[in-house]
Amino acid sequence: MSKEQKQFDGINDPANYRRLSEPMSQAKAEEALGAFFEEFYELRNKHGIVDAYVIAKIIVEGDRGEGEVLSAMHCGNQLSRESMCAWAFGMEQSQRKQRIAELLVQHPSVKATGFAEIK
């Protein structure tokens, strides 16, 4: 992992992403998710994280071709699940708006109505 990737604002590694995007069988996907969630639980305990939520996506190959399987796991207080997801959704929206605003500043020739107020 490079120094830039260790900033944890989303690790950008296109070659690794392409490798992980190779489809797997449904059985292999279920096995991989089970193992991942077990390790996620142990990692959460190891580092003393009270609540943790993970969403995972795997590309699968089935009878109808390629598809995506999404799954999620929460560890901790069940009452925190929804609020944690809502917080993450809002944070992602805020960061997307910020990226758009930064792009518009970098490229003033782009005309967009309504983006001037984004801070």
The ranges assigned to domains in the chain are 1-76, 78-119
DSSP bridge pairs for 59:
68
Question: What is the per-residue DSSP string for 31-97?
Answer: HHHHHHHHHHHHHHHHTT-S-EEEEEEEEEEETTEEEEEEEEEEES-GGGHHHHHHHHHHHHHHHHH
pLDDT one-digit tens code per residue, 54-87: 999 999 998 889 999 999 999 999 999 999 999 9
DSSP bridge pairs for 55:
72
Residue 47 has pLDDT above 80, yes or no: yes
Cα 57 to Cα 92: distance, rounded to the nearest angstrom: 17
* Mean model confidence pLDDT for the chain: 87
pTM for this structure? Answer: 0.73
Structure tokens at 36: 């991942």
Residue 2 binned pLDDT confidence (cut-offs 50, 70, 90)? low
CA-closest candidate to residue 20, choices 44, 47, 56: 56
The confidence score (pLDDT) of residue 12 equals: 75
